[in-house]
Structures are given as structure tokens and as C-alpha cells.
Structure 1
Amino acid sequence: MAKAIDIKKEVVAEITDKLQRSAAAVVVDYRGLKVEEVTELRKQCREKGLEYKVYKNTLTRMAAENAGMNELVQELVGPNAIVFSYDDPVAAAKIASEFAKTHKNLELKAGIVEGVLYKEDKLTEFASIPSREELIAKLLGSFKAPLSNFAYLVKAIIDKKEAEGQA
């Protein structure tokens, strides 16, 4: 009996640590998904540096309280899995939302993004935000365009002057 309690304490400590370290933790209801579909979701999460875990609700509730995320406790009803994102606060919502579009049995329930609880509708909005890399690429592209245009203009002026000098 004491060994089982020790194991549960370790799991609660693990979940608490993950909740505290994560930039986002999205709770999904996976009821109705086939094993192959869950395996595919886990694979997609791994490829994006995310972690998909299923824990007992009672242990997750204790961990959420330990992590100071009491508002998450009421969302932990029924079969749940949690997608943890440690770097990108949008990535967990994005993966879960994209997967839910093609697999109707996956349901986004709620998520903690940088310490704030959001419901399904807000998580879907987060999923539409471009990733950090995409935003950086767009920013660099917007810096590059005027510089490129200026370089083309200078090159055209030089070419014109050279053509006039040869004529």
C-alpha cells in the first residue's frame, strides 16, 4: 500500500513539474480515437517537440492544485490527455486543433497558456496564429523587400550610366 502511494506521489510530482515548466498545456478528450489515430497524434507531437501524455484525472487534479492552476481542475472530467509544449505557447493548441479537424473524435477542452486558462474557442484562435518561425520569416521578409528594391534601383542606375558612357 505504501509503495502504491509513493508511486502516485512521484506521478503527481512529475505532472506538477511538467505543468510548471510548460509554456502551454492543452487538455483534450480523446474518447473514440482508434489506437492508430492516437499513435499518429503522438508522432506529430514528438515531431514538433511536444509531449502527449495520459494521466489519471485524480493525480492531474492534485498536480494542477500543486502548480497553482486550480481553474484547470474543473476541466479534468472524463478521458483526458494533455499536450505539453515547453517552448512555443501556440504549438500545443495548433497540433491539437489541426488533428481535431481531421479526427472529429478529438475534442479540445481547455488549456493553460502561459499561466492563463483558455477554453476550446480561444485555443482554436491560438491555433490560427502563425508559429514563431513563420512570424520571424515574415518580419525578415518585410525588412528585406525595401532593401532589395533599393539595390535593384542602384544597379539599374549604374547600368544606365554605363550604357550612356559607352554610347
Structure 2
Amino acid sequence: MAKPEKVSAVAELKEQFENSGSALITEYRGLSVPQITQLRKDLGDSASYTVAKNTLVKRAADEANVEGLDELLSGPTAIAFVTGEVVEAAKALKNFAKDNKELVIKGGIMDGTPVSVAEIEKIADLESREVLLSKMAGALKGGQSKAAGLFNAP
């Protein structure tokens, strides 16, 4: 890769780090192009899936002041830059990895904090934000209904 191409690739990766709340690091060794295309579809609008050279990712992460990625950047690396819901992206990666053993989730960064594979799997097991909010609203409404019933009791 020529020097100007590397500079623009680093700038693009830096912008993705800055514009995403989270970055989930994977190893894609053994995946075919159609499989990676399917993974990108599965991620949908919640994340973009980028294959990049480790040295360029390290430079971009340093420029974007992202720490904790160095130990994750070995072997063929691809990054899911999460711009939407982290839960949706983590679920998509976990489900895809379940069906395609070649995809290995290595870890990531969420809100500037390094996260392990176990933490990503816990996040993937959570329900979506909308479901959690509706459960919380239901719990709050249920408590208010009980209180109103007590106040109206003879």
C-alpha cells in the first residue's frame, strides 16, 4: 500500500473510532467474502464492519486516543464500529460466530473502556433497549396503580 493510501486509511479509521461509541474486534480468518457480506447485513445500521491492517488500526487508535487495543490486534483483524445499539451489534456478532466458527470475537472498546469477550457475550444476552425501557415503565406503572388502588380503598 502506498504512503498516501495508508494516510487516508488511517484518517478514515480514526474518524470511525471518533464517531462510534464502541468498537468490537474480531478475527475473520477463514471467512469467505459472501460470509463477511452476510455479517455486514446482519449488523445492519447498528454497526459497520471494517477489515483493516493491524498497524494502521494501531496508528488510528493512537491518533483517536483509544487505548487498550494493542493486545487484541494480532492475526487478520476486522472491527465492528458500533454507531447504534451495542446490544444489537453484539448479538449479531455472537449469533454469526455461533453459526460460523471461523469468526472469533477477541474483545473491544466501549465508551473508552476495554471489554473482554465474556463482557461482550453478556451484553449480547441483554434484551434491547426498547424492551428494557418498556419493562421499567411497566414496573413503575404497576407500582403507581397499586398505590392508587390503596388510596381509593374504603
For Structure 1 versus Structure 2, the TM-score category normalised by the shorter chain is 0.7 to 0.9
Aligned partner (choices 126, 131, 141) of residue 128 of structure 2: 131
Taking the aligned partners of 1:145 and 1:99, their CA distance within structure 2 comes to 38
Report deviation, 1:74: 2.3
Query: Which amino acid in 1 is paired with 2:96?
Result: F
Conserved? CA contact 2:91–2:125, under 8 Å: yes
What is the count of residue pairs matched by the alignment?
150
| 5+ long unaligned stretches in structure 1 | 154-167
Residue 71 of structure 1 aligns to a residue whose secondary structure is: coil
Counterpart residue number, 1:110: 107
Query: Which amino acid in 1 is paired with 2:98?
Result: K
Conserved? CA contact 2:46–2:85, under 8 Å: no
Query: Which amino acid in 2 is paired with 1:117?
Result: P
Aligned-pair identity in percent equals 38
> Given the two structures, how large is their TM-score scaled by the length of structure 1?
0.78
Query: Which amino acid in 2 is paired with 1:131?
Result: S
Query: Which amino acid in 2 is paired with 1:28?
Result: T
| 5+ long unaligned stretches in structure 2 | 150-154
Matched, 1:5 2:3: yes
CA RMSD between the two structures: 2.3
Counterpart residue number, 1:35: 33
Pairs within 5 Å for 1:36-55: 36-46=34-44, 48-55=45-52
Taking the aligned partners of 1:44 and 1:145, their CA distance within structure 2 comes to 36
Conserved? CA contact 1:110–1:119, under 8 Å: yes
